[in-house]
A and B are shown apart, each in its own frame.
Chain A
Amino acid sequence: GAGVSQSPSNKVTEKGKDVELRCDPISGHTALYWYRQSLGQGLEFLIYFQGNSAPDKSGLPSDRFSAERTGGSVSTLTIQRTQQEDSAVYLCASSLEAWGQGEAFFGQGTRLTVV
Chain B
Amino acid sequence: DQQVKQNSPSLSVQEGRISILNCDYTNSMFDYFLWYKKYPAEGPTFLISISSIKDKNEDGRFTVFLNKSAKHLSLHIVPSQPGDSAVYFCAARGWNYGQNFVFGPGTRLSVLP
A residues adjacent to B (C-beta < 8 A) = 4, 31, 33, 35, 40-45, 48, 50, 56, 58-59, 91, 93, 98-109
The 4 closest A-B pairs by CB, nearest first: A106-B43, A103-B46, A43-B103, A42-B103
Check: B102 CB closer than 8 A to any chain A CB: yes
Q: Which of A44, A99, A100, A102 has the most CB of B within 10 A?
A: A99
A104-B103 contact given A42-B89, A43-B89, A48-B98, CB 8 Å threshold: no
User: Taking chain A's interface residues, is the majority helix, strand, or loop, or is none over half, making it mixed?
Assistant: loop
B residues adjacent to A (C-beta < 8 A) = 2, 4, 6, 32, 34, 36, 41-46, 49, 51, 89, 91, 98-106
Residue from the list B43, B49, B106 in contact with A93, Cβ < 8 A: B43
Contact A99 B44 (CB under 8 A): no
6 cross-chain CB contacts under 8 A: A33-B99, A50-B99, A56-B100, A58-B98, A105-B46, A108-B41
